[in-house]
């Protein structure tokens, strides 16, 4: 039996000639970062630097570039350094001004002035769905964006802007997807896609972390969403799934039964910084974009590769 949308959400999303603007975003940042221990024992993973900026700053800058005005960061215990990073640092600013380091002063002030940031603590690690649910009072009756900090997107057009275009055309929830290796489906939410056009799909179904042989496609959900406020009532009814957590994918699957959910195939490079190797790759990629670092870094990498080859040749020469 098809369930009806809550009356308030229908009024919001179906006013003739009006598409509500997406001006709010939610960034879940309450995870423990255990894959990066010991670096994350006392430092949030979101604050680890990808080249010269904390990882979470790339995500905030993407939101700002897409016209987001208000961001709620869902934090956990020991995450105060995130708030400190985006706050004014009065002593530092006065020191930089006194020393005439105006370029550095501008960088510091830009960070604290870029957007309106709010924070709420997720008191228990109950999953991504629960983290999104923590934003209910912040979102109210508006559509909103969700950014996952493990995915840094590199493209001239912000990734979330690509989803916002779909929102403008269809006024429905939109998921970011990319093609992933078949062997990796058990690490992603996977969609069953119905093509609607170039880079656009109607979602027929979603499956959370299926085995490769059971995955309905190779299109995995990757770290960006446009959601509508009726997701909250669905999340409140969603029972814990894998690992005892409330899965956002499960809630989206339920929502998909009573209203269309869309998926946008993202253009651009995605840096999955949720593991150490990809984190290092992302740092190298952004360092190579810095003109002052490009040449010396390339020279170093060539020397390392050449040194490895020479070492390998020497090792072979010693084999009897």
Q: Is 320 part of any domain?
A: no
- For helices 55-65 and 159-170, the axis angle rounded to 10 degrees is 40
Nearest to 8 by CA among 234, 171, 257, 230: 230
Q: Is 301 part of any domain?
A: no
User: How many domains are contained in the chain?
Assistant: 1
Q: Is 305 part of any domain?
A: no
Q: Is 28 part of any domain?
A: yes
Q: Is 1 part of any domain?
A: no
Q: What is the pTM of this model?
A: 0.87
Phi, psi of 87 (to 5 degrees): -90, 170
List, in sequence order, every residue forming a beta bridge with 265; answer none if it has no partner.
Answer: 177
User: Given this model, what pLDDT does residue 167 score?
Assistant: 94
Residues of the domain holding 57: 7-289
Across 29-131, the runs of DSSP E, i.e. the strands, are 49-50, 53-54, 70-75, 116-121
**The pair of three-digit structure tokens given for residue 229, joined into one six-digit string:** 């406020």
Q: Is 151 part of any domain?
A: yes
240 DSSP assignment:
P
**The pair of three-digit structure tokens given for residue 104, joined into one six-digit string:** 């550095």
Q: How far is CA 124 from the centre of its chain?
A: 20
Do 232 and 139 meet the contact criterion of CB atoms below 8 Å apart?
yes
pLDDT tens for the chain, 320 residues: list them: 333 334 444 444 444 456 788 999 999 998 888 899 999 988 999 999 999 999 999 999 999 999 999 999 999 888 899 999 999 999 999 999 999 999 999 999 999 898 899 999 998 878 899 999 999 999 999 999 999 999 999 988 899 999 999 999 999 999 999 999 999 999 898 999 999 988 999 999 998 889 999 999 999 999 999 999 999 999 999 888 767 788 898 999 999 998 999 999 999 899 999 889 999 999 999 999 999 999 999 999 999 988 866 655 555 555 45
Q: Is 315 part of any domain?
A: no
Name the helix (H) or strand (E) containing 186: none
Q: Is the peptide bond before 201 cis (omega within 30 degrees of 0)?
A: no
Listed in sequence order, the residues at least 6 apart from 120 whose beta carbon sits closer than 8 Å to its beta carbon are 72, 73, 74, 75, 134, 135, 138
Dihedral angle, C-alpha 124, 129, 131, 135, nearest 10 °: -130
Q: Is 312 part of any domain?
A: no
User: Given this model, what pLDDT does residue 309 score?
Assistant: 62
Domain CATH code at residue 153: 3.90.550.10
């Amino acid at each position: 039996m098809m369930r009806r949308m809550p009356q308030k959400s229908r009024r919001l999303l179906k006013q003739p000639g009006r598409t509500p603007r997406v001006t709010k975003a939610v960034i879940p940042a309450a995870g423990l970062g255990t894959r990066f221990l010991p670096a994350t024992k006392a430092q949030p993973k979101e604050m680890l630097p990808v080249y010269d900026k904390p990882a979470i700053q790339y995500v905030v800058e993407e939101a700002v570039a897409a016209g987001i005005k208000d961001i709620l960061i869902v934090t956990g215990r020991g995450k105060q350094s995130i708030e400190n990073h985006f706050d004014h640092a009065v002593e530092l600013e006065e020191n930089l001004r006194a020393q005439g380091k105006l370029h550095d002063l501008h960088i510091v002030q830009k960070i604290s002035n870029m957007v309106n940031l709010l924070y709420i603590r997720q008191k228990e690690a109950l999953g991504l769905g629960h983290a999104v649910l923590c934003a209910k009072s912040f979102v109210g009756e508006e559509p909103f964006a969700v950014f996952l900090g493990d995915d840094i997107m590199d493209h001239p057009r912000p990734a979330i802007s690509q989803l916002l275009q779909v929102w403008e055309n269809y006024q429905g929830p939109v998921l970011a997807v990319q093609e992933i290796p078949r062997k990796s489906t058990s690490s992603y939410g996977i969609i069953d896609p119905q093509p609607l056009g170039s880079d656009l799909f109607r979602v027929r179904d979603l499956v959370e972390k299926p085995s490769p042989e059971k995955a309905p496609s190779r299109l995995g959900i990757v770290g960006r969403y446009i959601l509508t406020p009726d997701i909250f009532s669905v999340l409140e009814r969603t029972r814990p799934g894998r690992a005892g957590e409330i899965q956002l994918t499960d809630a989206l699957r339920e929502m998909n039964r009573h209203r269309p959910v869309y998926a946008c195939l993202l253009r651009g490079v995605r840096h999955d910084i949720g593991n150490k190797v990809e984190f290092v790759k992302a740092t190298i990629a952004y360092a190579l974009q810095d003109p002052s670092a490009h040449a010396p870094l390339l020279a170093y990498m060539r020397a390392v590769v050449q040194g490895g080859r020479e070492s390998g040749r020497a090792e072979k020469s010693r084999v009897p």
